[in-house]
Each structure stands twice: as C-alpha cells, then as structure tokens.
Amino acid sequence: MTDAPVIGVLALQGDVREHLIALAAADAVARPVRRPEELAEVDGLVLPGGESTTISKLAVIFGMLEPLRERIRAGMPAYGSCAGMIMLADKVLDGRDDQETIGGIDMTVRRNAFGRQNDSFEAAVNVASLGGGPVTGVFIRAPWVESTGTDVDVLSRLRNGTVVAVRHDRLLATSFHPELTGDHRVHGLFVDMVRASR
C-alpha cells in the first residue's frame, strides 16, 4: 500500500519487535527508531513496553529526549504501552528520582501500581471507540493512570474503576500490552490516528 503511514518504534529497550509486527499487521510501514535522523523520518511513533527507567536513561545517553519532546510538542502522534505509557505521562509517581519522561499527556501515572501479588495478570478490557468487543489486556508490572487533565479522554477502565487507557489529542497510551496478544485493533486505532494527522 503506497499511502501506508511510516510508524517508528523507539528501539532503545523493550518489546520493539512485537510492536513492529503488530504495526505491519495493521497496515503501517514499521521501522525501529534509535537516532534523531530516524525520528525525523516517521509519521508517528510507538513507545514500547519494557523498563521506563532504562528507556529514560538511554534516551538521554542517545540524545533522543529533546528531539522526542520536540516532535511530540509539534503534534506527532505517539502511542505508548506500559513503560511507553509512563514515557508519555507529564507526571510519574513511584519513579526513580532521576527518571525523565517525554511527557505530552496531561496525566499522572503510578509505576508498578498493581502491586506484587498482581504483578502480572490478564483482564478483558473494553476500549472506547474500538469495535468487536473487549481486548485481552496483558498487564506486566503495569502502571495505572491516577489522574487526568480535562482534555484527556479515558478509553478504558477496569471493573474497579482503575483507568488503564487514555487518549489526549494525538497521543494514546495503555497500561497493557496489545502487542503481545495477536489482536491488532489497538494498533489499528493508532494507525488510523496517524493517517488522520497527515
């Protein structure tokens, strides 16, 4: 498809490969992004799951933090899953003291929020605006969204009310990992957001 959007996956650490596969399945041209020159060439960016403190540290070392902030400020669509959600949050609770985020979504997230007994679990999650029934939410030492600004749309809550997916304009974030399930609807939603932004 010639009009397929080019979507990068920030490839400093985390489950990059799974996102590349999911994006390709959702009809995007997907490529890893490690350097500012590569970032300049994509229409949108995925921030993968992994370890946000490590991604933060490597983003500083690789000179990517400011270029990432600039592109997001300029309106590039981005989607963050799990650690990627943390990277898109304006504020983080229970982060490391030196932990930086890219920011962009007016929200506060809590790292490792679900606690030890629930470090990893699966739950059926309804995502607003996604047809076809709930997705399987895979939560792995996941963050939750503790509070959101007025311009942020809450897309998903667990049964107890915990917010686990949000959208703020061109930015999308989930506590869970749709890239691990073979269900590409969340990536499809993001690809549509990138298409609409061009």
Catalytic positions, please?
Answer: 82, 177, 179
Minimum CB distance to ligand GLN, residue 178 (Å): 12
Nearer to ligand GLN, 54 or 197 (CB): 54
Write down the least CB distance from residue 195 to ligand GLN, Å.
Answer: 26
As measured in angstroms, the least distance from the Cβ of 46 to ligand GLN is 12
78 within 8 A of 33, measured Cβ to Cβ = no
Of 5 and 103, the one with the shorter C-beta distance to ligand GLN is 103
Give yes or no for a contact between 195 and 5, defined as CB atoms under 8 angstroms apart.
yes
Nearer to ligand GLN, 5 or 144 (CB): 144
The contact set with ligand GLN (CB under 6 A) reads 49-52, 82-83, 86, 111-112, 140-141
- According to DSSP, residue 94 is labeled S
Structural contact between residues 184 and 178, judged by C-beta atoms closer than 8 angstroms = yes
- In the complex, the smallest distance separating the C-beta of residue 116 from ligand GLN, rounded to whole angstroms, is 12
Structure tokens at 161: 């009310």
Of 15 and 43, CB closest to ligand GLN? 15
